[in-house]
Chain A
Amino acid sequence: MSTVLTITGLTLREASRRRVMLALGILTVLLLALSAWGFSRLAAESGGTMTSGEARLTASILLNLVMFGFSLIAALGTAFLTGPTLAGETESGIALTVLARPVRRSAFLLGKWLGLVTFGGGFVVLAGLAQCLVVWLTVGYWPPNPAGALALLAAQTTVLLTLAVLLSTAISPMASGVVAVGLFGTTWVAGVVGGLGASLGNEAIARIGTLSRIFLPTDGLWRGAMHAFQDPSALMQFGDGDGEAFPFLGAAPLTPAYLVWVAVWVAMLWSLAALSFSRKDL
Chain B
Amino acid sequence: MTTPSSPPRAPHQVLDATDIARVVTRIAHEIVERAKGAEDVVLLGIHTRGVHLARRLRAKLAQITGRDIPFGTLDITMYRDDLRLKPARALEHTEIPAEGIDGKLVILVDDVLFSGRTIRAALDALNDIGRPRAVRLAVLVDRGHRELPIRADYVGKNLPTSLREAVQVRLSESDGLDAVLLGDRDYAARSSQALAADPELPE
Is the pairing of A and B real? no
- Footprint of A on B, CB under 8 Å? none
